[in-house]
Amino acid sequence: MKFIDEYRDPALAEKLVKRIERLSTRHVRLMEFCGGHTVAIMRNGIRQLLPPTVEMLSGPGCPVCVTANSDIDKAIALSRLPDVIITTFGDMMKVPGSYSSLQKARAEGADIRIVYSTQDALQISRENPGKSVIFVGIGFETTSPTVAASVLQAKSENIRNFYVLCLLKLCPPVMKALLNLGEIKLDGIVCPGHVSAVIGTHPYQFIPRDYGVGCVVSGFEPLDILLSVAMLVEQIESSKPQVEIAYRRGVKPEGNLKALEMMDKAFEVAGADWRGIGIIPASGLKLRKEYEHFDAEKAFTLKLERVKEAKGCICGAILRGVKTPMDCKLFRKVCFPEHPVGPCMVSSEGACAAYYAYGAD
């Protein structure tokens, strides 16, 4: 298949592995930030292909996984209000909050509908004028423009029963937070492909400049990832950390200006609560004042119970790259994709789900 097969060519993969082996003279730790990359690495056995000097760690780039229990509790509490329809992407349904999940709330009678785009949610608002339709807005810079577009459209059409529970997060600030935490010494970051298609590469420039850590934006095919690793090892071995793109067919340095403009129109930067890390200043998005009518947290009063974390679940540490799913005592014993204890086992981009699906050493 055009644009797929050439990025899965075994002979080229072997050449890249040999190049990495040749270049790599010392142990390095690279973090693949994005959950999509974790899945691609596990699915294609890339960790096993790499020389022992190259260690790959999973990062916090799974939007469902990093959503804090307190925020999932808010979505569930909103679903229990009268005359409310919750609209959400499917992978949020099974994510456990402190006491329940959206799936359980739906089984108890809440009107919760899975949508495939924010436009679907808007359409449900138009078709149900007597109800309040709330979209659970999770995601990174990839999803944010579509949420922005829905809010701008709702305003232009004067749709008054559409709301967003705005839990959107930004990637560069959490990278900075991880580097500042210093729990793990990183030598390089495989930067997210889809997020970078929106934001470009300029927002990563502080990473080599202030932390001496290289960044390479990667696509999602095996050759994309191997090329990114080779470029990072080259940067490390030559002591020249910089921001590079190994995914030129998807990412431009300036990003997607139209999408950025739309985000800027609807949102302003705010603090956000990240699972396993806590509140990181300026790492999320909230609706600007002129759009706050659409903000579900402002429109509805919620009575929330005390936030509780799942006992024994180490998703937080996995998202910080400090532990792997294999370190969790519940992995494959108590926690399964059908009965997840934590979000990293729910999302298709979660590290635990990827380790479960594709095996792990």
Q: What H or E segment, with its residue span, contains residue 37?
A: helix 35-43
Residue 102 or 164 with smaller CB distance to ligand SF4? 102
Residue 184 or 317 with smaller CB distance to ligand SF4? 317
3-state secondary structure of 177: helix
Residue 237 or 309 with smaller CB distance to ligand SF4? 309
3-state secondary structure of 348: coil
Nearest approach, Cβ of residue 318 and ligand SF4 (Å): 6
Residue nearest to ligand SF4 (CB): 342
C-alpha dist (Å) from residue 253 to 95, 167, 198, 201, 257? 35, 26, 10, 5, 11
Nearest approach, Cβ of residue 8 and ligand SF4 (Å): 29
Q: Helix and strand tally (H, E) in the chain?
A: 16, 11
# binding residues, ligand SF4 (CB under 6 A): 15
Residue 133 or 328 with smaller CB distance to ligand SF4? 328
Nearest approach, Cβ of residue 289 and ligand SF4 (Å): 38
Residue 192 or 340 with smaller CB distance to ligand SF4? 340
Nearest approach, Cβ of residue 275 and ligand SF4 (Å): 10
In whole angstroms, give the CA distance from residue 28 to residue 24: 8
Residue 70 or 146 with smaller CB distance to ligand SF4? 70
Degrees to nearest 5, angle at CA 137 with 135 and 139: 150
Give residues 284-323 in contact with ligand SF4 (rule: CB under 6 A). Answer: 313-315, 318
Residue 2 or 333 with smaller CB distance to ligand SF4? 333
In whole angstroms, give the CA distance from residue 323 to residue 314: 8
Nearest CA to 68 among 319, 268, 303, 270?
Answer: 319
Nearest approach, Cβ of residue 224 and ligand SF4 (Å): 26
Neighbouring residues of 323: CB distance < 8 A, sequence distance ≥ 6: 314, 317
Taking each helix axis from N to C end, the angle separating 222-237 and 35-43, rounded to the nearest 10 degrees, works out to: 110
In the numeric block, the tokens 């809440």 are attached to: 110
The answer to whether 33 contacts ligand SF4 (rule: CB under 6 A) is no
Nearest approach, Cβ of residue 156 and ligand SF4 (Å): 41
Nearest approach, Cβ of residue 14 and ligand SF4 (Å): 33
In whole angstroms, give the CA distance from residue 324 to residue 56: 11
Give residues 319-348 in contact with ligand SF4 (rule: CB under 6 A). Answer: 325, 328, 330-331, 335, 340-342, 344-345
What residue ranges bind ligand SF4 (CB under 6 A)?
313-315, 318, 325, 328, 330-331, 335, 340-342, 344-345, 352
